[in-house]
């Protein structure tokens, strides 16, 4: 299973999303999410939203393996 994390404005839209799921790539997970969470999917498709696997920013087509941690990251606003 893949562990999922959502941050910033995405976290407000993902409160009902399961914390674990199956999926071969972050892109596939994003498509799967669109079925039940269309509002979240619109935000996930924004070009500024980045995806990380195990704390590294990656391409949306990166293959996932069991136990990976995937996070969806809107533009950061710290400091």
Partner 1 sequence: MLTTLRIQAEDFDLAEQYSLLRSSSPATTEIGAIVTFTGLVREFEPRSRDHNDDGGALDGMRLQHYPGMTEKLLQGIIDDAAQRWPLLAVTVIHRVGHLAPCDQIVFLGVASEHRQPAFQAAEFIMDYLKTRATFWKQITIDGQPRWVDSKDSDTTAARRWDAQCDG
Is residue 56 packed enough to be buried (19+ CB in 10 Å), middle (13-18) or exposed (0-12)? exposed
- Phi and psi at residue 2, in whole multiples of 5°? -105, 135
Identify residues 4-43 at the interface with partner 1 (CB under 8 A). 5, 7-9, 11-12
Establish if 77 lies at the interface with partner 1 (CB under 8 A): yes
**Among 2-10, 17-25, 34-42, 60-68, the segment contacting partner 1 (CB under 8 A):** 2-10
The answer to whether the beta carbons of residues 57 and 51 sit under 8 Å apart is yes
Residues that bind partner 1 (CB under 8 A): 5, 7-9, 11-12, 48, 52, 55, 71, 73-79
């Amino acid at each position: 299973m893949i562990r999922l994390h959502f941050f910033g404005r995405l976290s407000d839209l993902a409160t009902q999303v399961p914390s674990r799921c199956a999926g071969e790539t972050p892109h596939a997970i994003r498509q799967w999410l669109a079925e039940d969470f269309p509002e979240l999917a619109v935000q996930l498709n924004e070009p500024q939203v980045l995806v990380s696997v195990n704390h590294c920013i990656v391409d949306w087509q990166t293959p996932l393996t069991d136990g990976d941690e995937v996070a969806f990251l809107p533009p950061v606003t710290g400091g």
